């Protein structure tokens, strides 16, 4: 219904609620949403968002900017969010952690109510979120964007405590700093071990961009050192491009062990006290620095809310509504998003679809067909980046890639530099959207 203003829309719907009143399945197998205050009644519908990363932050920003008739609350544990995206560039010496750290004052300044607390329970019948601090927050619609948690015990010897000696650095901030500090303290001639997780996991090219950035740091600061990658997978994202960089730019530094029919480089056990690592195929290494990235699952609150099946949250491909719990949406890494990878770009794109769904159902805005996008850039060396991505549509109930693209190994230096500049523009853009904050494009 493009062109209708708020009053016209309220008249059109005859002053009745625009959402159905029960939480049952309709004939298409879609969970019906409960009634919520809307433009027709004049009361503000309460949207509560858990998680202020690129998924939750973007959603809060859009809703406050375009639908002041919605009441928007963000529940986020941390007062400052340090991005995982570009944290590899920190390890390579191309960014400071400070430049990757953002707070919530930008979102607060446009009227997002920010609660810095941990959500510990969701009462999906009474529609309220309970907080560690003891209070609870009622909602009409809840959006979960809690990111990932780790399956610490999946690797014998590893544990949550082990992340302080063998950092995964797969959460931004303290973990990235710890890995950076360990690399800085390592004597020249040391061995760094990087153990990527099995699929599916946050940022499929992330471990290999990291390998390039660590290798760049070693090449320029500690050239007698080496980096050994022990991968449980048989194939990886942008494989040809990364293998080209390892062979040409980081020859003699990177040793890349991808699993195959004979050798399985999944971890059999690790010892955080000695930093000894053993693979399933019997390779034993004593690491100077061990970057162990455990298998992953949806952030714990998604499980507590009843949204998880297996490790991730199934969603309706049209709008990222949970297929398990009414009145709840799941975006970002926690969702099971078909062909879309778990990335900040994806989380941001999915949030736009959720915003449209909320605004059309609760604020009288037009509803558009869901369209999603993703691009993941990876920095291989100075002004040298490659990319992979696609557009996506909801097709046969699944988020489906429609126009995939990937950089080519034969791309020239100019193309690689252009790709690097695109990535820095993207970083500035996503920070502006998720945190309502202007950052310089470096
Ligand atoms: C090394 C690395 C490099 C990456 N590079 C890129 C890249 O170049 N491009 C890209 O697009 N993506 C990249 N990513 C992936 C990207 O960081 C994630 O996909 C993205 O952050 C997911 O966003 P999200 O909103 O789903 O979750 P998150 O960003 O994890 O945000 C979740 C938030 O929820 C909060 N939270 C969790 N539980 C609760 C609770 N119970 N109560 C209150 N708050 C809670 C957390 O504190 C957190 O702030 C990279 C990731 C890594 C690790």
pLDDT digits (tens, 9 = 90+) for 237-281: 999 999 999 999 999 999 999 999 999 999 999 999 999 999 999
Ligand 1 centroid to Cα of residue 53, in Å, is: 5
Task: Choose which residue among 53, 101, 422 to substitute to test ligand 1 binding: the one with the highest number of ligand atoms within 8 A of its C-beta.
Answer: 53
pLDDT for 49 equals 99
With respect to residue 405, please indicate whether it lies within any of the assigned structural domains.
no
Same domain, 277 and 352: no
Ligand 1 centroid to Cα of residue 333, in Å, is: 7
Ligand 1 centroid to Cα of residue 189, in Å, is: 34
With respect to residue 244, please indicate whether it lies within any of the assigned structural domains.
yes
Ligand 1 atom nearest 51 alpha carbon:
34
Nearest to 310 by CA among 294, 319, 298: 298
Domain stops at, among 315, 350, 369 = 369
Q: Whole-angstrom Cα distance, residue 149 to residue 329? A: 18
pLDDT band at residue 29 under the 50/70/90 scheme: low
* Higher local confidence (pLDDT), 35 or 314: 314
pLDDT band at residue 233 under the 50/70/90 scheme: very high
Mean pLDDT of the region 67-85: 97
Name the residue with the closest Cα to ligand 1, atom 8.
85
Residue 295 reports pLDDT greater than 50: yes
Domain with 127, as residue range(s), is: 6-77+117-149+297-369
DSSP lists the bridge partners of residue 394 as 399
- The gap between the terminal CA atoms of the chain, to the nearest Å, is 41
Domain stops at, among 337, 369, 401 = 369
Share of the chain above pLDDT 70, in %: 92
Domain stops at, among 369, 392, 407 = 369
Same domain, 199 and 68: no
Residue 23 reports pLDDT greater than 70: no
Kindly state the DSSP code that residue 25 receives in the 8-state scheme.
B
Same domain, 248 and 231: yes
Element (H, E) at 48: strand 45-50
Q: Of 35-39, 60-64, 66-70, 334-338, which range is least confident?
A: 35-39
pLDDT band at residue 38 under the 50/70/90 scheme: low
Nearest to 51 by CA among 354, 420, 370: 354
For Cα atoms 11, 14, 18, give the angle at the middle one, nearest 5 degrees: 105
Residue 15 reports pLDDT greater than 80: no
Name the residue with the closest Cα to ligand 1, atom 35.
51
Which CATH number do you get for residue 306? Answer: 3.50.50.60
The rounded radius of gyration (Å) of the Cα atoms in the chain is 23
Same domain, 163 and 248: yes
pLDDT for 3 equals 35
With respect to residue 397, please indicate whether it lies within any of the assigned structural domains.
no
Same domain, 138 and 45: yes
Ligand 1 centroid to Cα of residue 112, in Å, is: 20
* Higher local confidence (pLDDT), 116 or 20: 116
pLDDT for 50 equals 99
With respect to residue 404, please indicate whether it lies within any of the assigned structural domains.
no
pLDDT for 26 equals 53
Same domain, 323 and 356: yes
Name the residue with the closest Cα to ligand 1, atom 19.
343
Residues 313 and 307: beta-carbon distance below 8 Å: yes
Mean pLDDT of the region 371-379: 98
Residues 6+ apart with CB under 8 A from 309: 324, 336
Same domain, 338 and 267: no
Residue 17 reports pLDDT greater than 50: no
pLDDT for 39 equals 56
pLDDT for 142 equals 98
| CA-based max dimension of the chain | 75
pLDDT band at residue 68 under the 50/70/90 scheme: very high
Ligand 1 centroid to Cα of residue 154, in Å, is: 21
Residue 211 reports pLDDT greater than 90: yes
For 133-150, the pLDDT digits (tens) are: 999 999 999 999 999 999
With respect to residue 430, please indicate whether it lies within any of the assigned structural domains.
no
pLDDT for 370 equals 95
With respect to residue 107, please indicate whether it lies within any of the assigned structural domains.
no
Residue 30 reports pLDDT greater than 70: no
With respect to residue 403, please indicate whether it lies within any of the assigned structural domains.
no
DSSP lists the bridge partners of residue 113 as 73
Same domain, 290 and 181: yes
Same domain, 301 and 290: no
Range 203-207 contact pairs with CB under 8 angstroms and sequence separation of 24 or more: 203/84, 203/85, 203/341, 203/342, 203/343, 203/376, 204/236, 204/237, 204/341, 204/342, 204/376, 205/236, 205/237, 205/238, 205/242, 205/376, 205/378, 205/388, 206/84, 206/88, 206/170, 207/231, 207/236, 207/293
Mean pLDDT of the region 331-360: 98
Share of the chain above pLDDT 90, in %: 90
pLDDT for 13 equals 26
Q: Whole-angstrom Cα distance, residue 273 to residue 4? A: 65
Pocket of ligand 1 (CB under 6 A): 50-56, 75-78, 81, 84-85, 87-88, 118-119, 145-147, 170, 202-203, 206, 210, 299, 301, 332-333, 342-345, 347, 376-377
Same domain, 163 and 66: no
* Counted domains in the chain: 2
Task: Choose which residue among 48, 85, 87, 132 to substitute to test ligand 1 binding: the one with the highest number of ligand atoms within 8 A of its C-beta.
Answer: 85
For 166-192, the pLDDT digits (tens) are: 999 999 999 999 999 999 999 999 999
Q: Of 31-45, 99-113, 379-393, which range is least confident?
A: 31-45
Ligand 1 centroid to Cα of residue 169, in Å, is: 12
With respect to residue 109, please indicate whether it lies within any of the assigned structural domains.
no
pLDDT for 34 equals 81
Residue 22 reports pLDDT greater than 90: no
């Amino acid at each position: 219904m493009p062109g209708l203003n708020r009053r016209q829309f309220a008249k059109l719907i005859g002053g009745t609620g625009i959402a159905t009143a029960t939480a049952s399945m309709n004939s298409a197998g879609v969970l019906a949403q409960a009634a919520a205050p809307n433009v027709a009644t004049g009361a503000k519908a309460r949207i509560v968002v858990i998680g202020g990363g690129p998924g939750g932050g973007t959603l809060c920003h859009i809703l406050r900017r375009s639908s002041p008739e919605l009441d928007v609350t963000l529940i986020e544990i941390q007062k400052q969010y340090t991005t995982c995206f570009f944290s590899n560039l920190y390890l390579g010496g191309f960014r400071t952690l400070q430049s990757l750290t953002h707070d919530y004052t930008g979102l607060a300044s446009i009227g997002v109510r920010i609660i810095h607390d941990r959500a510990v329970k969701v009462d999906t019948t009474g529609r309220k979120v309970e907080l560690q601090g003891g209070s609870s927050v009622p909602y009409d619609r809840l959006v979960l964007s809690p990111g990932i948690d780790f399956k610490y015990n999946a690797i014998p010897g590893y544990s949550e405590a082990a992340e302080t000696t063998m950092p995964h650095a797969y959460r931004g901030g303290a973990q990235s700093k710890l890995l950076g500090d360990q690399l800085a303290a390592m004597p020249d001639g040391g061995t760094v071990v990087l153990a990527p997780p099995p699929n599916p996991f946050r940022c499929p090219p992330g471990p290999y961009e990291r390998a390039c950035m660590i290798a760049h740091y070693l090449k320029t600061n500690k050239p007698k050192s080496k980096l050994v990658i022990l991968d449980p997978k048989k194939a990886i994202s942008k494989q040809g491009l990364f293998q080209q960089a390892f062979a040409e730019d980081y020859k003699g530094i990177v040793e890349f062990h991808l699993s195959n029919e004979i050798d399985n480089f999944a971890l059999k056990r690790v010892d955080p006290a000695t930093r000894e690592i053993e693979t399933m195929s019997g390779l034993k290494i004593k690491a100077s620095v061990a970057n162990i990235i455990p298998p992953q699952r949806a952030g714990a609150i998604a499980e507590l809310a009843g949204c998880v099946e297996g490790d991730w949250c199934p969603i309706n491909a049209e709008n990222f509504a949970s297929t398990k719990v009414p009145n709840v949406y799941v975006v970002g890494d926690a969702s099971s998003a078909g062909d879309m990878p778990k990335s900040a770009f994806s989380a941001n794109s999915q949030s736009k679809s959720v915003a449209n769904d909320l605004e059309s159902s609760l604020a009288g805005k037009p509803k558009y067909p869901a369209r999603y996008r993703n691009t993941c850039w990876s920095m291989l060396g100075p002004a040298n980046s490659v990319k992979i991505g696609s557009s996506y549509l909801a097709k046969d109930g699944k988020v489906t890639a429609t126009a995939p693209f990937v950089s080519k190994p034969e791309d020239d230096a100019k193309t690689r530099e252009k790709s690097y500049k695109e990535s820095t523009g993207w970083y500035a853009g996503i920070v502006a959207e998720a945190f309502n904050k202007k950052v310089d494009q470096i």
